[in-house]
Amino acid sequence: MGMVTGGFRKGREGMNENELSSAIIGCALKVHKALGSGLLESAYEACLCYELTRAQLKVEQQKGLPLVYEGVKLECGYRVDLLVEDKVIIELKAVEAISPLHSAQVLTYLKLSNCKLGLIINFNVLLLKDGIRRIVNNL
């Protein structure tokens, strides 16, 4: 089970994926403005988790995802970087560019978790808006 952070919440439970996405991107912009690019992914993950928690969102770090194959639940070591409000998967990167493989990875995570929205956030960019990709699972 992933680590759950976050304390008291004030009405965030009812937010839909698009509202959560806006809140997440706002927090990511704050982290990127403070830290810039060039750090390890783990540093961005810790800081973004902190900001999301401050925004009173439920956040799980390194949340394990089981794979169900032929009716059998298998623990294969799949881990989502951040899961927000049990609705939005965040995959963090600190790479030169987001590749199609990264997008395919997040789509697989969405299917395994039955979530509808994933965000790939690459912090290794000058402007964070250039490092964000939305991935949608059309259940």
- In the chain, domain spans: 3-136
117, containing H or E segment: strand 117-122
In whole numbers, what is the pLDDT of the chain averaged over residues? 90
The C-alpha atoms of residue 129 and residue 139 are separated, in whole angstroms, by: 27
What is the C-alpha to C-alpha distance for residues 91 and 88, in angstroms, rounded to an integer? 10
pLDDT of residue 9: 43
Q: What percent of the chain has pLDDT over 90?
A: 77
* pLDDT band, residue 139 (cuts 50/70/90): low
**Tokens 């990167």 sit on residue:** 93
pLDDT digits (tens, 9 = 90+) for 35-92: 999 999 999 999 999 999 999 999 999 999 888 888 888 888 789 999 999 999 999 9
How far apart are alpha carbons 118 and 10 in whole angstroms? 24
Residue 16 has pLDDT above 60, yes or no: yes
Q: Output the furthest CA–CA distance in the chain (Å, rounded).
A: 46
* Residue 67: predicted pLDDT: 84
pTM attached to this predicted model: 0.87
Is residue 7 predicted with pLDDT exceeding 50?
Answer: no
Rounded distance between C-alpha atoms, residue 97 and residue 114, angstroms: 27
Helix (H) or strand (E) holding 40: none
Q: Give the residues across from 73 on adjacent strands.
A: 68
